[in-house]
Amino acid sequence: MANRVRIAVGSDRRDLFLVDDLVEGFARARGLADDDRGRLVEVVHRLVTWVNDSAYPNDETGEIAVQLELAEGAVRVLVEDWGEPLAAFGGSLGEVPEELAGVDALTDDLRLVNLGRDGKRLSASVPAEGVEPEELVALADFAREAPPGDVTADEVEIVEAGPEHAEDISRLLYVNYGLGYGHPDFYRPRWVAEQIESGQVFSTVAMLGGEVVGHHAMLREEGMEAGETGVAVVHPAYRGLGIFNRLFERTVERARGAGVPSVFGRAVTSHPYSQRAEHSRGYRETALMLGSVPPGDSHDDEPVPRGASLLTYLPIDLREHPVSFPERYRELLAAAYANLELQTAEADTARALAELEGLPAIARERDEQRESTVITVGAWGEETRKELLDGLRDAVRHHDDVAYCDLDLEALTAEELDEAVEILGNYDFFYSGLVLDGRLGHDHLRMQAILSDNVELEAIVLDSDYAQGLKKAIFADRGWLPDGDASAA
């Protein structure tokens, strides 16, 4: 069932019953409680009536568009018109008009922005207990929405966030995603402040009139050289001003200044928008991780499957990468480096092993929120084989849905990689792709195993030819395609 509905009516009060009927039907179909449904109907009716009377006085030839969209614990209301100019309000734009004070008390983040010749946009969030969208997609709106005409890009300042911005960052995420964002820790202002202060998170914000209206971050994991970019959000009222691009550019500048060799993202595969956004900024795919996205909540008692994600990288340091290749995946890994436009060189395994001295040959990390385990193999031997099998048994014992195993391409020889790949294959692991600049800056071959039946394997949307070929190769490696139909590039 769609999260979003939209209707356009004339600026004739006699047509407003059509909006009332739509809101009532939407609220019932989405299971809103009686009180929440009544509040939503009242808010939308009052907003549309105010727009009708204010923007089209004595004019029945105008048009009003109304959109309802589910968020986590709320319904976002958007009312657009192309009538007489009105002063912007809400947020940093000024006080809400007295005649809408009652609506303001029933909603969160009520505001009006002017779009110049593209009209006006009146928006608000109406709290609704227990409401959960099927899927939260903000990236799809970046290109669709026009800039507010009363705010220029020059007025928006891009700055490095400090701990003092933490609460505003958490609130901005809530405005856009409800409580459904994939990094739940970002809803905890104290955690955000600690991470910014420690340097584990490079957070950049867009400021307008003292208000945080945009955010982008790079997250660093201990021991990992690459940084994960994400937590990208722009307030709906200020999209279209190029804020996202400026935030992204500042994040990459900060990563380069900190000596980060590459940044990466995890693009969902339920739609193409985040993939296209990353590709337009130079990110390229290296791995397809099946089942890496936890399932959402079911609305009709039908199980919601785990989704796949694409691992994509933007190399900053264009150095040669010293690696060894296992014979089974030589062509696939070579294609991944070619997709990144990176050159490889023969690995100096003795030097790489010396760098790993003092670190465990086998590292295991379990992500309880994602119900998955990542096992990293940095050295090989009899004891390592035993530890690897222990790690696989732990994943099963913890009832993980998926498991990943990363094999160090710099510290392991080709022969050791061949043996590890064979052992993992005996335990139903198969190809996932390339992990760039992982532990101590070494690259890794990622293999994956599906330990649950509740994993989406059919409705996987892949936007690029390379990604589609990668999926084909992965399915062939798992035995889901006929032999000889496995080219990835």
| pLDDT for the residue 237 | 79
Q: Is CATH 3.30.1330.60 the right assignment for the domain spanning 4-134?
A: no
Over 90: is that where the pLDDT of 19 sits? yes
Contact 278, 251 (CB under 8 A): no
Over 50: is that where the pLDDT of 137 sits? no
**Around 31, how many Cα atoms within 13 Å sit in the side-chain half-sphere?**
11
Contacts of 414 (CB under 8 A, 6+ apart): 324, 325, 326, 327
**What does the domain layout of the chain look like in residue ranges?**
4-134
Distance, CA of 481 to CA of 484 (rounded, Å): 9
Split at pLDDT 50, 70, 90, the class of 221 is: confident
Over 80: is that where the pLDDT of 130 sits? no
Number of H helices, E strands in the chain: 12, 19
Contacts of 371 (CB under 8 A, 6+ apart): 294, 398, 399, 400, 401, 402
| pLDDT for the residue 134 | 52
Distance, CA of 347 to CA of 58 (rounded, Å): 77
Q: What is the residue-averaged pLDDT of the chain? A: 86
Split at pLDDT 50, 70, 90, the class of 117 is: low
| pLDDT for the residue 114 | 77
pLDDT (tens digit per residue) in 246-261: 999 999 999 999 999 9
pLDDT (tens digit per residue) in 410-459: 999 999 999 999 999 988 899 999 999 999 999 999 999 998 888 888 88
Over 70: is that where the pLDDT of 67 sits? yes
Instruction: Tell me the CA distances in angstroms from 61 to 13, 15, 17, one per residue in order.
Output: 11, 12, 17
Of the segments 123-127, 165-169, 255-259, 335-339, which one has the largest average pLDDT value? 335-339
Over 70: is that where the pLDDT of 489 sits? no
DSSP string for residues in 96-133: PPGGGHHHHHHSEEEEEEE-GGG-EEEEEEEE-TT---
Over 90: is that where the pLDDT of 41 sits? yes
Contact 277, 230 (CB under 8 A): no
DSSP string for residues in 181-218: -S-GGGG-HHHHHHHHHHTSEEEEEEEETTEEEEEEEE
pLDDT, average across residues 389-412: 84
Place of tokens 């008009």: 97
More confident residue, 220 or 115: 220
More confident residue, 180 or 445: 445
Over 50: is that where the pLDDT of 141 sits? no
Distance, CA of 278 to CA of 268 (rounded, Å): 11
Q: Kindly state the helix (H) or strand (E) to which residue 277 belongs, with its residue range.
A: helix 273-280
φ, ψ at 317 (rounded to 5°) = -90, 115
Displacement of CA 89 from its chain's centroid (Å): 30
In percent, how much of the chain has pLDDT > 90?
51
| pLDDT for the residue 20 | 92
pLDDT, average across residues 67-95: 85
Contact 186, 169 (CB under 8 A): yes
Over 60: is that where the pLDDT of 54 sits? yes
Place of tokens 């309880």: 368
Over 50: is that where the pLDDT of 207 sits? yes
Q: Kindly state the helix (H) or strand (E) to which residue 74 belongs, with its residue range.
A: strand 74-81
Distance, CA of 217 to CA of 64 (rounded, Å): 37
pTM comes to 0.70
In percent, how much of the chain has pLDDT > 70?
89
Split at pLDDT 50, 70, 90, the class of 271 is: confident
Distance, CA of 72 to CA of 17 (rounded, Å): 27
Contact 237, 147 (CB under 8 A): no
Nearest residue to 454 (alpha-carbon basis) of 292, 306, 294, 308? 306
Distance, CA of 486 to CA of 489 (rounded, Å): 9
Place of tokens 């593209």: 118
Distance, CA of 285 to CA of 311 (rounded, Å): 6
pLDDT (tens digit per residue) in 303-333: 778 889 999 999 999 999 999 999 999 999 9
Contact 18, 9 (CB under 8 A): yes
Distance, CA of 183 to CA of 369 (rounded, Å): 10
